[in-house]
Amino acid sequence: MKFGELELFTTITNIVKKYHNGRPLTVIGNNLELVDFFKENGLEIKNLFSAIEEKTDEEDITDTENISGEENISDEESISGEEDNSNDEDSSGGEEQADSIEYAQEDAVNAEPSPVSSKPAKAPDPDSYILENEIDPYENYVVFTEAKRRKDLCEELEVLGFSEFKDYVFVNHGKIILHKGSPDYHDEYGNNIHCKVCTVYIQEYACNVNINVDNSAKFDEKCFISARHLGGAEITVGAGCRFVDNVSLVAAGTGKITIGSGTKIVMNSGIVALEGHTIAIGENCLFSYDVKIYSGDGHAIYNTRTGKRMNPPVPTRRSVISIGDHVWVGMRAVILNRCSIGSGSIVGAGAIVKGTFPNNCVINGNPARITAKNVAWSNGYKDDDPADIPEEYFRTTEEDEE
């Protein structure tokens, strides 16, 4: 079982147990690990059909995010059937209606493949298996393990007498888009979202996602929040935070991001917490443009002698980025995992930061090192009186204190 699958399998199993009412399961798809998990949890499997929908190269590109936080959602359809042209921003300038919740859909294409095409033929839609095998919702509970939830498919299943969750469940719920102004969102997959001030993307398969953004936080257009890769992502944003021009917050799997109140992050900055990693940012911090905070390696690394993975995505003391209160991070700085920066410190422009640094110091260079101690900074450039700096941030560096 891959990392994160246990949480997804458990979530789907709980949905099935909640609704199947003793009916045996008809599983449409090739996920035999999930089938075994069902059996281990006392669920009876009546039918097992293969129904994998092949992804094209174009679809793979559609679902990717790059390190800058830009996300491409072009060529997708909303649940209402209208084309979504938001391009990861609230194209109406934040005036979306409160019911603007979408399931990003791909067109259902069942045409015959070209005779000269080298791609495999697309498998029939799951409803075809239900028709061909005369599957009755009164005697079966259906689980689609690979097919992506689509509006048109749900409508076809409804015509056949099936109700979503009551009679069937998709393991892949598709991409869910919550625009600015959306009401609180909760679903059967355990996703709980409170974010009225920024567009949120819940990626395919993501479950047990918890996002809580204070209503007083402000996000410009092109800023977004995203939860990816199976289950357990958590993102919390405190009161009075400010995000200016193309700032992204991305948590993957069990990644966690916490941003304290009054913090400001500006242009083209991105924060990414991968599976098993945590990023904790304190209050009243200031991040300049093009800052990247990235916790996790992004790829598996193995020891060639032992074959063991050297960076498993599980929480450890090394999988945390901790940034204290009132920290100023200069333009184009990069902060990597296994990093701790004390309150009141300053990170210089272009610094590559990894390691442990005390409070009220200046950090510069690649690799970053301490270049000054016993410093304090003010939000205002023209401030001449240090009394304007709160007392808790006007301190000597801890290692120099007696």
As annotated, the active-site residues are: 299
| Contact in structure between 263 and 286 (CB atoms under 8 Å) | yes
Helix (H) or strand (E) holding 156: helix 151-159
**Rounded-to-integer distance, Cα 193 and Cα 257, Å:** 14
DSSP track, 5-49: HHHHHHHHHHHHHHH-TTPPEEEESS-HHHHHHHHHTTPPEEEEE
How many residues are present in the chain? 402
**Rounded-to-integer distance, Cα 216 and Cα 63, Å:** 30
Q: How far is CA 97 from CA 178, 183, 284, in A?
A: 11, 9, 31
DSSP track, 256-310: EEEE-TT-EE-TT-EEEE-TT-EEEE-SS-EE-TT-EEEES-SS--B-TTT--BS
| Contact in structure between 46 and 74 (CB atoms under 8 Å) | no
The label of the residue with tokens 């510069």 reads 364
